[in-house]
Amino acid sequence: MYSWILLTAFAAITKAAVVPVPETVTVEAVTVPAVEKVPVVAAADVNVSELSTQAASVVTTLSSSQLASFAPFTQFARAAYCPSNEIASWNCGEACRANSGFQPTLTGGDGNDVQLFFVGYWPSQNSVVVAHQGTDPTQFLSVLTDASILQRNLDPGLFPGVPSSVFIHGGFADAHAETAPAILAETKRLIATKGATSVTLIGHSLGGAIAELDALFMKLNLPSNIHVKAVTYGTPRVGNAAWPAYFDAQVPDFTRVNNEKDPIPIVPGRGLGFAHPHGEVHIVSPGKAVACSPDDNATDAQCTISTVPNIFLSNILDHLGPYEGINIGTIFCN
């Protein structure tokens, strides 16, 4: 109980107004250049999507280099909690210094009604990056374990062609819809002006759920030659059993990283009709992680649903990390 009180006291969400980056240029018409070949992205080079096509409960131990390759994505997830004025100038301490070449072009959210987010260009990967802030994990856990959670279909205006059998957590759908149009417009602008060939979606906690939805959103609304990649941390279940079946086919380059006994990835419960897509990487202990497949039924003892069978055997502090030495949350911005 003490750790929960301590975490609540320190994990207040930073409020910031929408801060457009000064040199952002408004583009009325966007023409996406043709791309003959999508380059291989070196960071986070473990291809979890390939593992998900194997037999049930396949577990592969990640090498130290594979585990270390997630660090740039982890730092982006960490930066998403920082005030928008710091992100606009890319001066948010260690998280910004770790990806020093990144060029932010749009920030938004207030850290309260709308989660903070940023969009920008990552030259070393020739990729647009979109990152979303999470929320206070103690409050979030209460919401996610509430049996009154309602699911609904995705908005066809944002997600064209998604089967009617797919249902999503209504709160996550609303949070995503708050920022989706502005983020898509800026993403298209950067693709046109920078010649980016990929889009990378990143988030932690609630931000991870929004990033997961963003990944499908981008896949359905961008040209097919734009590679869509997503890396999330401590992500809750987003939709029903039909959700991963559809998502897996549309977004094969997806990784969701879980840390030790974090309870957030096991909620909302499968008994409430929720399921994860593929891509689990479980940090078992510092320096050791495994890739688990297929989707939400990798029952090996090293995978999350066996390590954390219920929230009473979990540790909410693991939700903040460390993810291989990197903690994520408002108090870790600088």
* pLDDT, tens only, 275-289: 999 999 999 999 999
Q: How high is the mean pLDDT in each 10-residue block of the chain (334 residues)? A: 34 33 36 32 39 60 94 98 96 96 96 90 98 77 58 96 96 94 98 98 96 98 98 96 96 97 94 94 95 83 91 93 94 82
Distance CA(248)–CA(263), nearest Å, equals 23
Q: Please tell me the predicted confidence (pLDDT) of residue 99.
A: 97
Sign of the Cα torsion 267, 269, 274, 277 reads positive
Q: Please tell me the predicted confidence (pLDDT) of residue 37.
A: 32
Q: Please tell me the predicted confidence (pLDDT) of residue 144.
A: 60
**Ramachandran sector of residue 234 (left: φ over 0; alpha: ψ -120 to 50; beta: rest):** left
**Ramachandran sector of residue 247 (left: φ over 0; alpha: ψ -120 to 50; beta: rest):** alpha
